Chain A
Amino acid sequence: MNTSSYQSEFEKLLTRDYFSTKFNSQRKNAFEQFLKKNLSKKSWDDFRFTNFSALKKNVFRISEISDAPNKNFKYPEPFTGDNYKIVFNNGHYQKHLTTLPKGVEIFKNLEYYNDPKNKVAQSAASPFDLLNTAFMDSGMSLVVENNIKIKSPILLVFINAGKDQLMISPRIHIDIGKSSSVSLVEHHIGFGNGNFSNSTTILSLKENSHCKHIRLQKDSDQAINSGNIHLKQEKYSKYYLSHFGFGSSLGSVGVNSDLNGQGAECHLSGLCLTKNHQHLDTHILINHKSPNCMSSQNFKTVLKDYSSGVFNGKVIVHKDAQKTDSSQSNKNILLSKNARMNSNPRLVINADDVKCSHGSSTGEIDQDALFYLRSRGIDYKTAKSILIHGFISEIFESLENPKIVNIIKSDFDKWIED
């Protein structure tokens, strides 16, 4: 692998005075691990079916202050209407566009880390995690006080629109206080050249808090987009993720959840639609560390053309996590003989009183169902669309925001027409 471009960018970053030197040791540590492990399949077993060539071949440049958008940048209208929002452009926080509800405070990470109990997370779960720690920008922390209920979603918009191929490495902390509830919509959009957007979101859910999180990845066709989500859940907290992977040439979402307090729940679902030579990954790790916790995974992919995908789902039930209730399902449809899916659901159980299920299926579209629809006068193309829509609908029909459902439906229509 050609790591020299990462090396020179890393050295450049260390010299820039707008990045604090406070985290240089963490950065160096992560970058050394990245160099050591390389992007080789041997070091990254979960990524052995992932094509890293775009990461290896392309030369990315760090996003600098000069890459902040000029004042005339025309922002797309936030699709959810007048909700609360936080906007990042090429990784630069756009303070003037921010609107937040009462009870939510926003800090720079530097301020956030002033509190000694807030440590810099240094996950080594994936090469993306290591690169984020090495290259993280000044970042952002959202702190929701205790007992705050926010009904309207907070929109986090990530716009990647650099002229050069930028490496954008946001690091976001979201701390949700006791008995508070928040709804987040993370929206990734890209224009222009193939950027490498590699965001890490660290969510801390305090006792009895609730978080609904939608992640809509619609980065540009040439982009690389990775989202690394790390969850720390205290007792009786509930987290729901709906991930939609539509964009980018190489996309990856990783969720690492620690169910630390009893009765915590983590429910993850996702849908990926792929085409051309696109490759989209989903990597899930759920650690059941306490008793009476619940987790579920429901992920679907529909693949066209020469595209490919990976699902790695792992649940580890630790020895004290009795009465764990965990389910895992991954279903995929291949619409082309040249499309490929690798599905790998795994369970590691170290407790004896648990309820765990897992299942995976990958196949072509149901020919009998197709004939049934056509025998009712519905043409082949429409019949296919109806069946795939039926297959994926459970992933988005539970979403509460009709505007988001409409966006997803229209993206689906465009994808199927292509």
Chain B
Amino acid sequence: MLEIKNLHAKVENKFILNGINLNIKPGEIHAIMGKNGSGKSTLSNIITGKDGYEITQGDIKYKNESITEWNPEKRSLHGIFMSFQYPVVMPGVNNTYFLKAALNAKRKYNGQKELDAARFLKIIKEKLQDLKMDSSYLQRAVNDGFSGGEKKRNEILQMLTLEPSLSILDETDSGLDIDALKIISDGVNRYKSPDRSFLIITHYQRLLEYIEPDIVHVLIDGEIVKSGDKKLALKLEEKGYGWLEK
């Protein structure tokens, strides 16, 4: 699904990623853990195609195609999704309008007929119920006045709507209370399938109790210094990152 080889990248002449290797197969859930500033968010931004990063070495392949030259919309249309750590507030932009535009962009790209308002609402209302979201969400402006938990649920709603193959959850657990964490995890777990992969980026082991990873990686100074099974996350929780630092 996703194959990253020896990826080096910098922002404004500062190297943030120093040779990342990562191979996520269809159906796998990978977790990347690391402290602030280790390069976690840079990695997710680079995979989704945000401006401002320069790749100096290495490659990112998605479904066997190099995507480093693709713009963000093309990556999304091909099935890459990121749940933002800080979802952007867009005053005046109606949530329904936004979701419908995104879904129809994808349908159009795939040669499907665009959905009219009635059919779109039918689909979206089911997904809202799954996430225990009130339908008044749809009338509000995107993330405007949303609580931390509401914003993250809105991200997962977008994931469920766009049905990506690769979902990157960038610190989706931060700022969530335990009920919201459960709702979101349930949503993700229901969405899991043998042809869908996840990359979960997190500080803490807590989210991984709900969404069980196949492989856990530790990122320090832009390098993956250790990989292991879910027990590695527990060890990090107990011992911190110090024992892995050079």
**Binary interface profile of B, 158-190, with partner A (CB < 8 Å = 1, else 0)?**
100010000000000000000000000000000
> A392 to B51, Cβ gap below 8 A?
no
Q: Which residues of A contact B84 (CB under 8 A)?
A: 372, 375
> B88 to A376, Cβ gap below 8 A?
no
Is A390 part of the binding interface, using a Cβ–Cβ cutoff of 8 Å? yes
Is B18 part of the binding interface, using a Cβ–Cβ cutoff of 8 Å? no
> B71 to A380, Cβ gap below 8 A?
yes
Q: Which residues of B contact A348 (CB under 8 A)?
A: none
Is B141 part of the binding interface, using a Cβ–Cβ cutoff of 8 Å? yes
Write the nearest CB–CB distance from A401 to chain B, whole angstroms: 20
Contact of A393 with B92 at beta-carbon distance under 8 Å, contacts A374-B76, A375-B72 already known: yes
Stretch at the interface among A249-257, A283-291, A363-371, A408-416: A363-371
Is B67 part of the binding interface, using a Cβ–Cβ cutoff of 8 Å? no
Q: Which residues of A contact B162 (CB under 8 A)?
A: 376-377
Q: Which residues of B contact A378 (CB under 8 A)?
A: 73, 101-102, 105
> B105 to A390, Cβ gap below 8 A?
no
Contact of A366 with B88 at beta-carbon distance under 8 Å, contacts A386-B93, A390-B93 already known: yes
Closest residue to B78 on the A side, CB-wise?
A377
Is B191 part of the binding interface, using a Cβ–Cβ cutoff of 8 Å? no
Residues 376-399 of A at the B interface (beta carbon under 8 Å)? 376-380, 382-383, 386-387, 389-394
Closest residue to A369 on the B side, CB-wise?
B88
> B92 to A377, Cβ gap below 8 A?
no
Q: State the interface size on chain B (CB cutoff 8 A).
A: 29
Residues 69-91 of B at the A interface (beta carbon under 8 Å)? 71-73, 75-77, 81-82, 84, 87-88, 90-91
Cβ-neighbour of B98 out of A371, A373, A391, A392 (below 8 A) = A373
Contact of A377 with B106 at beta-carbon distance under 8 Å, contacts A367-B51, A386-B98, A390-B141 already known: yes
> B51 to A376, Cβ gap below 8 A?
no
> A391 to B92, Cβ gap below 8 A?
yes
Q: Which residues of B contact A386 (CB under 8 A)?
A: 93, 97-98, 101
> B88 to A368, Cβ gap below 8 A?
yes
- Bound state CA distance, A156 and B138, in angstroms? 38
Q: Which residues of A contact B82 (CB under 8 A)?
A: 375
Q: State the interface size on chain A (CB cutoff 8 A).
A: 24
- Bound state CA distance, A222 and B102, in angstroms? 39
Contact of A389 with B73 at beta-carbon distance under 8 Å, contacts A373-B98, A375-B82 already known: no
> A390 to B91, Cβ gap below 8 A?
yes
Closest residue to A367 on the B side, CB-wise?
B51
Cβ-neighbour of A377 out of B50, B93, B97, B102 (below 8 A) = B102
- Bound state CA distance, A368 and B91, in angstroms? 13
Closest residue to A395 on the B side, CB-wise?
B92
Cβ-neighbour of A369 out of B48, B49, B75, B90 (below 8 A) = B90
Cβ-neighbour of A372 out of B71, B87, B92, B101 (below 8 A) = B87
* B48, B97, B105: most-surrounded residue (chain A CB, <10 A): B105
Contact of A390 with B92 at beta-carbon distance under 8 Å, contacts A371-B50, A371-B72, A372-B87 already known: yes
Q: Which residues of B contact A373 (CB under 8 A)?
A: 98, 102
> A389 to B76, Cβ gap below 8 A?
no
Cβ-neighbour of B71 out of A366, A374, A376, A394 (below 8 A) = A374
**Binary interface profile of B, 105-130, with partner A (CB < 8 Å = 1, else 0)?**
11001000000000000000000000
Closest residue to B50 on the A side, CB-wise?
A371
> B88 to A372, Cβ gap below 8 A?
yes
- Bound state CA distance, A393 and B92, in angstroms? 6
Residues 72-115 of A at the B interface (beta carbon under 8 Å)? none
Q: Which residues of B contact A389 (CB under 8 A)?
A: 92-93
* A366, A376, A382: most-surrounded residue (chain B CB, <10 A): A376
* B49, B72, B98: most-surrounded residue (chain A CB, <10 A): B72
Cβ-neighbour of A387 out of B73, B93, B158 (below 8 A) = B93
23 interchain pairs (CB within 8 A)?
A366-B88, A367-B51, A368-B88, A372-B84, A373-B102, A374-B71, A374-B73, A374-B76, A375-B49, A375-B84, A376-B76, A376-B162, A377-B73, A377-B76, A377-B109, A378-B101, A378-B105, A380-B71, A380-B73, A386-B97, A390-B90, A390-B141, A393-B92
Q: Which residues of B contact A (CB under 8 A)?
A: 48-51, 71-73, 75-77, 81-82, 84, 87-88, 90-93, 97-98, 101-102, 105-106, 109, 141, 158, 162
Q: Which residues of A contact B (CB under 8 A)?
A: 366-369, 371-380, 382-383, 386-387, 389-394
* Given A377-B77, A389-B93, 15 new contacts (CB under 8 A): A371-B51, A372-B87, A374-B71, A375-B73, A375-B81, A375-B82, A377-B73, A377-B102, A377-B162, A378-B73, A386-B97, A389-B92, A390-B91, A390-B92, A394-B92
